[in-house]
Amino acid sequence: MKKKDFISIAFIILCVITTIAVIREQDALDVMGGLHDDNDELTKRITDLEKEFEESSKLKKDYDNLKDKHALLEKEVDELKTSVNYEDFVEAISIIEAYKVVQSFRDVEEFLAWGPNIGMGTMDREGTCPCSLTFGQKGILWEPNAVLDLREFRHEKDKIILTYNTTEDIEKDYQFVMTKSAGWNDNKEKWKIAEIIQKKKEG
DSSP string, 108-177: GGGGBPP-TTEEEE-SSTT-PSSEEEEETTEEEEE-TT-EEEEEEEEEETTEEEEEEEE-TTSSSEEEEE
pLDDT > 70: percent of the chain: 70
- Mean pLDDT value of segment 79-99: 82
Q: Which of 136, 133, 112, 132 is nearest to 123 (CA)?
A: 132
Asked whether the predicted pLDDT for residue 133 surpasses 80, the reply is: yes
Q: How far apart are CA 152 and CA 25, in angstroms?
A: 87
User: From the CB of residue 84, how many other CB atoms can be counted at a distance below 10 Å?
Assistant: 19
pLDDT digits (tens, 9 = 90+) for 111-126: 999 888 888 998 888 7
- On the CB side of 32, CA atoms within 13 Å amount to 6
pTM, 2 dp: 0.59
Question: In a 10 Å sphere around its CB, with 0-12 CB exposed, 13-18 middle and 19+ buried, how is residue 20 labelled?
Answer: exposed
pLDDT of 59: 65
Q: Which of 42-51, 57-66, 170-179 has the highest mean pLDDT?
A: 170-179
- Indicate the pLDDT class of residue 80, thresholds 50, 70 and 90: low
pLDDT of 174: 97
- Mean pLDDT value of segment 72-87: 65
Domain ranges of the chain: 1-81, 86-199
Asked whether the predicted pLDDT for residue 25 surpasses 60, the reply is: no
- Indicate the pLDDT class of residue 75, thresholds 50, 70 and 90: low
pLDDT of 62: 67
- Mean pLDDT value of segment 14-41: 60
pLDDT of 52: 75
pLDDT of 178: 95
Cβ-contact 99, 183 below 8 angstroms: no
DSSP codes joined into one string, 179-196? EEE--SS--S-EEEEEEE
pLDDT of 58: 72
- Mean pLDDT value of segment 168-179: 95
Q: Does 35 or 118 have the greater pLDDT score? A: 118
As a whole number, the mean pLDDT across the chain is 80
